[in-house]
Chains A and B, each alone.
Chain A
């Protein structure tokens, strides 16, 4: 199917008869992969560029237009052992990358200015002690002003604009004292320079800006990385639709290339990627993803189907009413995004601190100035002391400490397969004392599994697997996976709602419902032992076998539940599934508290009930029906094979077959929170020591800037300790 994918939507012109294609590549893990892919693709004639981005796990290729079919690259990568998918940058990711780039540019300018101003400042300090002429000192001060004023006006813009926005909304954030400190220090220095004074504080101001920008850049870079990862995931899912190019022929195209009015084919087992109306065909459809209604309904010509609808029994032709971003699913997704942005019940720790901190800082500085004026100091001396207080109390440690720990901790989580959607997720995950698991796709693996594969002769299993490749029913797909089948049988016919049949070496083979294969007795024997299994029968001439297909629990589910409980975290299951299935899953992983047949609304009610009792709930779930519950919980996680939607709603996602990332995320977050607290205490102690000295007028603004930088470095070093500790957790 991959080879028939239409690439034209993803191709970009790179000028001069060249084409450009971006691919998200699964499986790139080291420098060896990078060299192998680049060397192999570069060898192809007419390829002008093949470059791997190891950070984002992506590949960019350029080649002469018309020389090579793009699917050739995908096939070549497959031969090398990598799965590749064409890929389009999400808007959000482009924005994050742009922001990180802009911050780095501002940081470069600020650092350049800081270095050059230091070169001018050092002679002035030593000159004040020795024999510098006043004219020379003024000359150096004016030079500093010439460098710093334009550099500060450019590089401090993020602080100014954020402070301005906050002030206009009649609130205070951390950028307000920073901006006031910078502007006062610069203005005061200009006045001092003009009046031929001994000191100017251009160096202090620009150093402050450079340090703060470094903290912001670290924070932004982490977010950019997570976005890039999310973009890859979207590409790996490679959402496609089967479109009629004329009355008879179909072609598999990316859904982005589908326009309203096109006609698409929906086969049994497929999920619709578009909204539209059925024009021919008849099938049971499952709209539970959209409506929450689990009973299937019958679709016939005229019925509306929505993106996310699962087609069960028959084949449908659908005229597209809306595709891609226009679908109902995308609309719900946007609503959810808005709801999440509006969620302001939990302010970031640093912001809360800043909100209390800013008025205290301003009041202290103002009182210092008034105090010195009353004590009889000159207006000039009082203002210099006040600026020193403002700079020394500048919440740099606050501004740097939290993002630094967040960066280190989220980097470690990323490394163990838990990308975070939001930076403050760490703080909320650290507070969790109750975990609610959904069952389907969360405690269990998302794909079905043949439970009795070992009891079936290997040659029969292999033949059934090859036959199953011709059906798109999820249960048949499980049989094909269990048999590791790759080559489908020829001339197989599908009977809608029954199964598939064909001829092999003059002998009839059938796969499908037990009645279709005359295997009711065997099927009933299996169902009486395991009422939760789905059965699919296989008949080869006179031989007959029945496969029991069921959901399999994640291999380490019981161990993770036990680990969570030992950490003092309560665990329960709240599932929309039927009671026997939930009871069985609960028993096998050792969870005593469970609820079955719960509607999405009742899930939220349960979360709110726990919240009222003082519990901080982590919701782990997938699927659209869990999305509201994920948003309602204190923190949330989703396995990445879940629908796009719930990933957007969850604070963190996790990869792979194991459930262990849930426990890892909580433990790492707890450690990170401890370090954040330590850092805040370091900042408080530093202020308690330095502020009285500054108020006493013993600190010049330059020494204040140096002391502030020193505390920032200390706090950064402490944050790096998170790396070592997190490794110990594994």
Chain B
């Protein structure tokens, strides 16, 4: 059972990383256009590819 001392903080750390990732995605505006994002995922080509300048 001593393994708990090690596993429980690890589990919480993983959860915290997940939360941090969610907060980051929220801050970077990934929830601003849910309709558009749904379609971008299945778009044939990368329309914004050429704009990486």
CB <8 Å contact, B36 and A50: no
Given the interface contacts A31-B43, A35-B43, A53-B32, does A112 sit within 8 Å of B26 by beta carbon?
no
- Min Cβ gap A480→B in Å is 37
- Interface of A, helix, strand, loop or mixed by DSSP: helix
Q: Given the complex, which residues of B lie within 8 Å of A56, measured CB to CB?
A: 32-33
Q: Which of B15, B34, B39, B45 contacts A115 (CB 8 A)?
A: B15
Which of the 9-residue segments A101-109, A452-460, A640-648 touches chain B?
A: A101-109
- Min Cβ gap A303→B in Å is 48
- Interface of B, helix, strand, loop or mixed by DSSP: helix
Distance of A224 Cα from B11 Cα, bound (Å)? 36
Given the interface contacts A101-B26, A136-B4, does A119 sit within 8 Å of B36 by beta carbon?
no
Interface range for B: 20 to 34
Distance of A454 Cα from B25 Cα, bound (Å)? 59
A558: Cβ under 8 A from any B Cβ: no
Closest to A54 in B: B36
Q: Given the complex, which residues of B lie within 8 Å of A43, measured CB to CB?
A: 50
Closest to A97 in B: B32
Q: Which of A34, A116, A119 contacts B39 (CB 8 A)?
A: A34
- Min Cβ gap B53→A in Å is 6
Q: Given the complex, which residues of B lie within 8 Å of A49, measured CB to CB?
A: 48, 51
B6: Cβ under 8 A from any A Cβ: no
Beta-carbon contacts under 8 Å, A108-143 to B: 108-109, 112, 115-116, 119-120, 133, 136, 139, 143
Interface range for A: 20 to 34
Distance of A260 Cα from B12 Cα, bound (Å)? 60
Beta-carbon contacts under 8 Å, A7-61 to B: 30-31, 34-35, 38-39, 42-43, 47-56
Q: Mark A381-409, 1 if CB is under 8 A from B, else 0.
A: 00000000000000000000000000000
Which one of B4, B8, B35, B51 has the highest number of Cβ atoms from chain A below 10 Å of its Cβ? B51
CB <8 Å contact, A55 and B36: yes
Given the interface contacts A55-B35, A108-B23, A112-B19, does A50 sit within 8 Å of B51 by beta carbon?
yes
B3: Cβ under 8 A from any A Cβ: no
Which one of B1, B36, B40 has the highest number of Cβ atoms from chain A below 10 Å of its Cβ? B36
CB <8 Å contact, B47 and A112: no
Closest to B21 in A: A108
17 contacts between A and B (CB under 8 A): A31-B40, A31-B43, A35-B47, A42-B47, A42-B50, A42-B51, A47-B51, A50-B48, A51-B48, A52-B36, A55-B36, A104-B31, A108-B19, A112-B19, A115-B15, A116-B12, A139-B4
A contact residues vs B (CB 8 Å cutoff): 30-31, 34-35, 38-39, 42-43, 47-56, 101, 104-105, 108-109, 112, 115-116, 119-120, 133, 136, 139, 143, 147
